[in-house]
């Protein structure tokens, strides 16, 4: 008799839990869904991708400024959807990295990390623009407890400002720190590739703002797009591939000191 009661209690709890789980959650039990393709799958998919040619970047920060204004991130707030990092290798062998104010005011002095460097003290240096990598397997989306962030059919990762609870789990799970809390809406915020622009045939605001041709956006499967041409003919790299997110911002001229 005790056993049946215990059974019933268990069944009751199970059915309560069970009804709360949407059917889609059971996907985890499908082995073929788990078997990820071992070869990198950029190819036929109608999907947005981004190319950053770091060899051309001068660090003027016009893209950062434009992005902040286009996307309504309060200009003075120390958070940004895109930013530029400066890497300088000195003759002493130090690697100096900085990104003051995300470079929204531009790099105008040779003062990485506040060191006043003479020109002859630097061996090499370059700028690396960063933005959300719109991963194929975004860990930030995976960990959202409420489904407030998601990947669109064309591969862009967005945040639902009306549904986000502000727990910060997605921010913690982004290897690139592309996410932050919006100072006004108090919800998770990130680069959208300017989804409102690219869906209308425009280019992302940062791409338009770059006079040096550093940034390019296009469809992965569109043979006419510059993105397709670069990815299929040149040697590109992605940031932090070891996390398994399959980032879709491709870099030209990346260096091993880039973080």
Partner 1 sequence: MNHAWRPLILIVGLAAVLLTVRMFLVPSDFMAKNGDYKYQWHRVGNEKFWRDEFTVKHKGREFCKQCHEDKIELVADSGHARVQCENCHVMFNPEKKGHPVDLKADFGYLLDIGIDRSRELCKRCHSKLPYRPKEFTSLTKGIKPFNMIDPQEHNPGEECVDCHDVHRTGFK
Partner 2 sequence: MDLGHVHGELWTVKTLFTYPNEYIYWTIHIVIYPFITGLVAGAFVLSSLYHVFGKDELRPVAKFSLVFSLALLFIAPTPLLFHLLQPQRAINTMLTPHFYSAIAAFNLVYLGYMAIVISEIWFAYREYIVQQSQSRTGVFKLIYSALTLGSTDISEATLKTDHKIVKILAAIGIPAACMLHGYVGFIFGSVKTVPLWKTPLMPFIFLISAVISGVSICIVTYIIGMKLSKIIVDNETVQSMCKALKWFLVVAFVLEAIDLVFHAYLAEESWDILSDVLFERFGFRMFVVQWGFGMILPLILLTIPGIKTLRAFIAGALVLMGVFMMRWDVVIGGQSMSRSLAGFLDYHMPILPTSFEAFKEGLSAVIILLSAPFVLLYLLNLLFPVFQGQRLVKREPEKS
71 in contact with partner 2 (CB under 8 A)? no
| DSSP code at position 72 | T
Angle subtended at Cα 47 by Cα 57 and Cα 223, rounded to the nearest 5 degrees? 75
Torsion angles phi and psi, residue 256, rounded to 5: -70, -15
User: CA torsion 215→250→177→212, rounded to 10°?
Assistant: -20
Please select the residue that binds partner 2; options are 11, 69, 123, 146, rule is CB under 8 A. 146
Q: Which is nearer to partner 1, 148 or 239 (CB)?
A: 148
User: What is residue 55's three-state secondary structure?
Assistant: helix
241 in contact with partner 2 (CB under 8 A)? no
Strands 180-181 and 157-159 turn out to be unpaired
CA–CA dist 183, 161 (Å, integer): 12
Per-residue 3-state assignment (H helix, E strand, C coil) for 101-127: HHHCCCCCCCCHHHCCCCHHHEEEEEE
153 in contact with partner 2 (CB under 8 A)? no
Query: Per the structure block, which two tokens stand in for 119?
Result: 């020109």
Binders in 130-159 for partner 1, by CB under 8 A: 137-138, 141-142, 147-153, 158
Please select the residue that binds partner 1; options are 7, 27, 46, 234, rule is CB under 8 A. 27
CA–CA dist 258, 128 (Å, integer): 8
Partner touching 209 among partner 2, partner 1, none, CB below 5 to 8 Å by kind: partner 1
Query: Which residue bears the tokens 């680069």?
Result: 191
171 in contact with partner 2 (CB under 8 A)? yes
185 in contact with partner 1 (CB under 8 A)? no
Site string for partner 2, 116-145 (x = CB under 8 A): --------------x--------x--xxxx
Site string for partner 1, 217-256 (x = CB under 8 A): ----------------------------------------
Q: Which is nearer to partner 1, 130 or 215 (CB)?
A: 215
Please select the residue that binds partner 2; options are 89, 95, 158, 238, rule is CB under 8 A. 95
Q: How far is CA 230 from CA 51, 59, 176, 208, 254, in A?
A: 8, 22, 23, 18, 14
Q: Cβ–Cβ contacts within 10 Å for residue 59, how many?
A: 21
Contacting positions for partner 1 (CB under 8 A): 5, 8-9, 12, 16, 19-20, 22, 24-25, 27, 55-62, 65-66, 68-70, 75, 88, 104-110, 119-120, 122, 124-127, 137-138, 141-142, 147-153, 158, 160-163, 192, 195-197, 199-200, 202, 205, 208-209, 211-213
């Amino acid at each position: 008799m005790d056993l049946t009661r215990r059974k019933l209690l268990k069944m009751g709890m199970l059915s309560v839990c069970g009804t709360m789980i949407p059917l889609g959650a059971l996907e985890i039990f499908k082995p073929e869904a788990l078997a990820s393709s071992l070869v990198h799958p950029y190819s036929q998919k109608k999907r947005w991708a981004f190319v950053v040619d770091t060899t051309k970047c001068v660090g003027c920060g016009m893209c950062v400024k434009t992005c902040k204004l286009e996307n309504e991130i309060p200009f003075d707030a120390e958070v940004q959807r895109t930013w530029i990092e400066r890497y300088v290798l000195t003759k002493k062998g130090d690697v100096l990295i900085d990104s003051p104010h995300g470079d929204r005011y531009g790099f105008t002095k040779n003062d990485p990390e506040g060191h006043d460097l003479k020109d002859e003290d630097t061996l090499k240096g370059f700028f690396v623009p960063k933005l959300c990598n719109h991963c194929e397997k975004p860990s930030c989306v995976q960990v959202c407890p409420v489904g407030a962030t998601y990947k669109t059919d064309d591969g862009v990762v967005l945040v639902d400002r009306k549904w986000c609870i502000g727990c910060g789990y997605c921010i913690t799970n982004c290897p690139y720190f592309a996410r932050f809390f919006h100072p006004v809406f108090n919800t998770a915020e990130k680069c959208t590739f300017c989804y409102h622009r690219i869906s209308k045939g425009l280019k992302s605001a940062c791409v338009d703002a770059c006079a040096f041709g550093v940034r390019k956006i296009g469809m992965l499967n569109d043979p006419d797009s510059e993105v397709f041409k670069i990815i299929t003919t040149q040697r590109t790299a992605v940031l932090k591939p070891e996390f398994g997110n399959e980032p879709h911002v491709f870099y030209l001229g990346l260096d091993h000191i880039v973080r």
